[in-house]
Amino acid sequence: MAEKTYAGVAVSVDDEGYMTDPSQWTKEIATEIAKEEGIDITDKHFAVLDFIREKVASGAVLTIRSIGKSGTTDIKGFYQLFPGAPLKKATKIAGVAKPSSCI
């Protein structure tokens, strides 16, 4: 297991850069991870990230469809907020494990 430093804090990450301890996550860390992913984070991003963190903490399986039905954003909006690979990028920025549905 590796470590990376974000916002002056050393966090544990896996081989793909996903945080292994979600309790280490802060909004400052999320902002720095987002910058690495080429995303300028906004309040709308944080609303989606909060939804993702709540779902994962409750043990729910994350899908793009579930995020689209969250009321936080629709699927098109999700793709606009996290272009390219939205679920992979969003979960990485949210400080949770990569979903098993992502390759």
Question: Which residues touch 24 (CB under 8 Å, ≥6 apart)?
Answer: 9, 11, 12, 95
Return the pLDDT at 24: 93
Return the pLDDT at 14: 92
- Is residue 83 a contact partner of residue 37, using CB atoms and an 8 Å limit? no
Mutual angle of helices 43-57 and 86-94, in 10-degree steps: 80
Mutual angle of helices 27-36 and 43-57, in 10-degree steps: 110
Q: Average pLDDT over the chain, rounded to whole?
A: 91
Return the pLDDT at 34: 97
**Of 9, 47, 97, 102, which residue is the catalytic one?**
102
The predicted-structure confidence for 6-25, as pLDDT tens digits, reads as follows: 999 999 999 999 999 999 99
Three-state SS for 9?
Answer: strand
Please say if the pLDDT value at position 103 is more than 80. no
Query: What is the distance between the alpha carbons of residues 26 and 15, in angstroms, rounded to a whole number?
Result: 21
The pTM is what?
0.91
Three-state SS for 59?
Answer: coil
Known catalytic residue at 19: no
